[in-house]
Each structure stands twice: as C-alpha cells, then as structure tokens.
C-alpha cells in the first residue's frame, strides 16, 4: 500500500517535471531580462523570437543556432506591446556577410501580436544569417531591429535540455529505488560497502 502511494506520487512528480519543461525554454528564464531570443525595438520594448524545424526536430526550440539547412523552418515573433500591434511589420532574412536576401515578407499588420513566417525550404546555405525587422509607424517613422543566427550548426539539443533529461532519468531511478525492495536492498548494500572503504 505504502509503496504504491510512493510510486504514484513519484510518477506525478515526474510528469510535473516533464510538463514544466517550458520553464527551461530560452535558458529557463521566466521573464525577458535574460532572454537571448529577442529584438529591442526601442528602449525596454522587445519582440521575442523563436525558430522551429518541426519536420526534423518537432519538440525543439531554437534561437541563435538553427541546426539544419534545406528543411522547413518556422520563425515565430511575438510582440506584447499593444501599440506595435497597430503597426505594419516587414521581415527580411539575409545571408551574411554577402547580404544576399533569402526571405522577404512585405509589411503587414498583425493584430494578434504573433507572426509566424514559414520558410518551406528553410535557409539554403549554412553559416551566418541576419533577421531584419522593420515596424512602420503611421507617421512614416521606421523602427528597425536585427538579430543574427547560424544555420547548419547541427546541434539540435541545448545544454539545458540535457540537464532536464538527466534530471528525469535520476528521478525515474529514484522512484524505482523506492518502489522495488530487491533493487533498494542491492543499492543499500553497495552504499554500505563503499562507506567501509
């Protein structure tokens, strides 16, 4: 009875860890103060950026390093400031240092504050790229921001993800230790022998 309760509570805790992995996104920061995936449009006014390659890495988010070239890539931009939602926004991606345009979307308004750009073939060449964002104000003023990323780095899993996987594995082993008397006895014997040395 007690071991089934321990097992149930352990599994619930493990599920909680797995489903809270969104807290680990972008370095585990809950706010934008340490978020590296953002553009500053004006002082203290930001657009958040996340890249996805859903066909190759369905559960991964990217920022400065996008692992593959020649595969569907989605660039997602979120701007929370209400005043930006009434402005038209233009996007361009260029290959650097040449400045060769690889993607362009003319200025449009996005009232929801979220823009998803689909690059069906992704970027074609490995190396440095630059995202250019321009917000067009009604008075004709332009707000420009830029952010670079590397494509073709081939590193789909962040170090934070490895840490999460190790934590989940450790939690699973600990639950098994608590719920299996034979395994617990063997581990305890090994620990006892180690202490004697």
Q: Please tell me the total count of domains within the chain.
A: 2
The answer to whether residues 69 and 128 belong to one domain is: yes
Structure confidence by residue, pLDDT tens digits, 105-144: 999 988 888 899 999 988 899 999 999 999 888 888 888 8
Q: Is residue 190 part of a domain?
A: yes
The answer to whether residues 128 and 177 belong to one domain is: no
Q: Is residue 184 part of a domain?
A: yes
What pLDDT is stored for residue 193 in this prediction?
79
User: By residue range, what is the domain housing residue 148?
Assistant: 31-156
Q: Is residue 185 part of a domain?
A: yes
Q: Is residue 18 part of a domain?
A: no
Range of weakest confidence among 33-42, 70-79, 96-105, 145-154: 33-42
Structure confidence by residue, pLDDT tens digits, 86-99: 889 999 999 999 99
- Helices marked H in 74-151: 82-85
For residue 36, the domain's CATH number is: 2.60.40.1930
The answer to whether residues 47 and 122 belong to one domain is: yes
Give the angle subtended at the CA of 41 by the CAs of 23 and 157, to the nearest 5°. 30
* Total-model pTM: 0.60
The answer to whether residues 51 and 138 belong to one domain is: yes
The answer to whether residues 112 and 166 belong to one domain is: no
- Helices marked H in the chain: 2-19, 82-85, 159-179, 181-196
What region, left, alpha or beta, does residue 152 occupy, with left being phi > 0 and alpha being psi -120 to 50 degrees? left
The answer to whether residues 150 and 164 belong to one domain is: no
The answer to whether residues 56 and 148 belong to one domain is: yes
């Amino acid at each position: 009875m007690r071991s089934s309760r321990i097992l149930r509570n352990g599994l619930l805790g493990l599920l909680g860890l797995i489903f809270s992995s969104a807290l680990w996104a972008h370095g585990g920061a809950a706010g934008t103060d340490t978020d590296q995936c953002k553009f500053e449009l004006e002082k203290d006014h930001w657009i958040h950026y996340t890249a996805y390659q859903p066909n190759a890495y369905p559960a991964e988010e990217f920022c400065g390093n996008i692992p593959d070239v020649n595969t569907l890539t989605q660039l997602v931009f979120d701007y929370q400031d209400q005043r930006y939602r009434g402005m038209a926004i233009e996007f361009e991606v260029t290959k650097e240092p040449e400045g060769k345009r690889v993607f362009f979307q003319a200025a449009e308004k996005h009232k929801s504050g979220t823009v998803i750009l689909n690059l069906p073939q992704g970027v074609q060449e490995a190396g440095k790229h630059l995202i250019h964002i321009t917000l067009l104000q009604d008075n004709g003023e332009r707000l420009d921001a830029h952010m670079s990323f590397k494509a073709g780095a081939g590193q789909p899993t962040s170090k934070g993800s490895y840490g999460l996987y190790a934590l989940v594995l450790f939690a699973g082993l600990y639950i098994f230790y608590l719920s299996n008397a034979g395994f617990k006895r063997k581990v305890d014997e090994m620990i006892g022998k180690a202490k004697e040395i």
